[in-house]
Amino acid sequence: MKTIQGPGIFLAQFLGDTPPFDTLNHICAWAASIGFKGVQIPTWATSYFDVQKAAESKTYADEINGLVASHGLTITELSSHIIGQLVAVNPAYDQLFDSFAPESYHNDPKARQAWAVQHLKYAAKASQNLGLKAHGTFSGSLMWHTVYPWPQRPAGLVNDGFTELANRWLPILDAFDEAGIDLCYEIHPGEDLHDGITYEMFLEKVNQHPRANLLYDPSHFVLQCLNYLDYIDFYHERIRMFHVKDAEFNPTGKQGVYGGYQGWVERAGRFRSTGDGQVDFKSIFSKLAAYDFDGWAVMEWECALKHPEDGAREGATFIKDHIIRVTDKTFDDFAGTGPNKELNRKVLGLGI
């Protein structure tokens, strides 16, 4: 068995204009000071990290690694979630998702998509230059507006949608394969890959691509009423990244999964700071250890109530306390007899 690495922290929700959140150097010093051992860097945070430069210059990548290491930290992975979203955008969402791209690509969906694809290819090479193993992203969505089939979906829509989604991602997956990096989709509402079934349909369309892997985040499954422990049993061979994020689902006679268009505090399902929600992390860490997951446990803070700095400080301790240092021996070894063929035959009643 292998021991999970951690605690790590996803920096996306902590980006800011004032210290200690304004530069990669400052935020790494802060993360280390509260107990984190690794940082997950969002590739869209251009003031922190230049993904194209890291792809084209091993020297720059080494400098970034050195800066992070100077604080006693490791880069866990890069993340391109909001860029991956732009690989597949239904026109109904064009204006909303334009904000995920530079202004020069606004009102030009084709150019925006091409920019996103190139960004992901840079992320593959940058990850290779940084010596990483995995990369996190979203799948984007062509069909989310039809997730509840009313009006009835036209025959063949889902098949055609996944065929197109696969065609858009295959060149990117091949780039990650060439770089030796696992591309890990965070299974997430709003994406065409939002549960196990949709992931399997996509996997079939990309011919079981070896790099089409998973970022496991149980919080999204709590809000979908999906069994997040069974999910590990089904997909553990494909889980290469892990976000430690909590959530709670408290339906009432007035509100359920869809949330009634309410804000996060008023929703039946809402994200919580790590340890404050309903996720059974003891069982999750146990299952991942049993399945030899040796990646990073990375805290992602998204809480409707608690201050992010308090959530981060508590999250570092929470992850540290949940990581299982796996055993190298069996508890009843003291009573073992060692190999003995003659004894085995006697116990089996086979004589000598």
CATH number of the domain at 302, please: 3.20.20.150
pLDDT confidence of residue 166: 98
Indicate whether 85 belongs to any domain: yes
Task: For residue 157, name the pLDDT band (cuts at 50, 70, 90).
Answer: very high
pLDDT confidence of residue 342: 86
Task: For residue 142, name the pLDDT band (cuts at 50, 70, 90).
Answer: very high
Percent of residues, the chain, with pLDDT higher than 70: 100
Residue 139 has φ and ψ, to the nearest 5°, of -85, -20
pLDDT in tens, 128-139: 999 999 999 999
What value does the mean pLDDT of the chain take? 96
pLDDT in tens, 265-320: 999 999 999 999 999 999 999 999 999 999 999 999 999 999 999 999 999 999 99
Q: Which residues of 208-220 are buried (b: 16+ CB within 10 A; e: fewer)?
A: ebebbbbbbbbbb
Q: Is the pLDDT of residue 41 over 70?
A: yes
pLDDT confidence of residue 340: 84
**Radius of gyration of the CA atoms of the chain, in A:** 22
* pTM for the structure as a whole: 0.95
pLDDT confidence of residue 347: 84
Task: For residue 352, name the pLDDT band (cuts at 50, 70, 90).
Answer: low
Indicate whether 352 belongs to any domain: no
Indicate whether 296 belongs to any domain: yes
CA dihedral sign of residues 62, 128, 140, 277: negative
Report how many domains make up the chain: 1
Indicate whether 102 belongs to any domain: yes
| 264-267-269 Cα angle (round to 5) | 100
Range of the domain at 235: 5-347
pLDDT in tens, 174-228: 999 999 999 999 999 999 999 999 999 999 999 999 999 999 999 999 999 999 9
Using CA atoms, how far apart are residues 319 and 301, in angstroms rounded to an integer? 13
Indicate whether 279 belongs to any domain: yes
pLDDT in tens, 80-119: 999 999 999 999 999 999 999 999 999 999 999 999 999 9
Indicate whether 103 belongs to any domain: yes
Task: For residue 344, name the pLDDT band (cuts at 50, 70, 90).
Answer: confident
